[in-house]
């Protein structure tokens, strides 16, 4: 409902400030420029969604750091459990000390 009113006000303004030819050109360009504006707004919203998703990933760097720290703790725990398992299973019978695998901290 607002577009015909605004377009009418725009055409009246151009008619009062410029010649009849400019008014006809302006009126004829309203529809294609309106369609272009609608397409442009749709593309802008789509771009904003994609850029917003990428920026959100940058804002979550603290969460990523915490996940990496937790993962490193789990890997260290699993390394110590594996070393203990190898020592307890193989050392009593064969004297095998297990592989010498460096840990993350050493």
Tens-digit pLDDT profile for residues 23-70: 888 888 888 888 888 888 888 888 777 776 666 666 777 888 888 999
pLDDT of 56 reads 65
Indicate whether 9 and 42 sit together in one domain: yes
Is 3 contained in some domain?
yes
pLDDT of 98 reads 58
Is 70 contained in some domain?
yes
Is 105 contained in some domain?
no
Residue with tokens 């009849």: 20
Residue partners of 79: CB distance under 8 A and separation at least 6:
101, 103, 104
Q: Check whether 3 has a pLDDT greater than 90.
A: no
Q: For 9-13, 67-71, 96-100, which range has the lowest pLDDT when averaged over its residues?
A: 96-100
Is 23 contained in some domain?
yes
Task: Quote the pTM value.
Answer: 0.37
Q: How confident is the model at residue 18 (pLDDT cuts 50, 70, 90)?
A: confident
Indicate whether 1 and 46 sit together in one domain: yes
Is 103 contained in some domain?
no
Is 32 contained in some domain?
yes
Over residues 87-105, mean pLDDT: 65
As a whole number of Å, the end-to-end CA separation of the chain is 73
Indicate whether 42 and 65 sit together in one domain: no
Range of the domain at 19: 1-50
Is 36 contained in some domain?
yes
Indicate whether 70 and 93 sit together in one domain: yes
């Amino acid at each position: 409902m607002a577009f015909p009113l605004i377009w009418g006000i725009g055409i009246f303004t151009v008619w009062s400030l410029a010649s009849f030819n400019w008014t006809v050109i302006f009126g004829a360009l309203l529809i294609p420029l309106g369609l272009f504006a609608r397409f442009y707004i749709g593309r802008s919203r789509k771009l904003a969604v994609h850029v917003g998703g990428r920026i959100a990933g940058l804002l979550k760097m603290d969460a990523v750091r915490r996940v990496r720290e937790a993962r490193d703790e789990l890997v260290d725990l699993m390394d110590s459990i594996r070393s203990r398992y190898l020592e307890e299973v193989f050392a009593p019978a064969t004297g095998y000390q297990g592989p010498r695998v460096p840990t993350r901290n050493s």
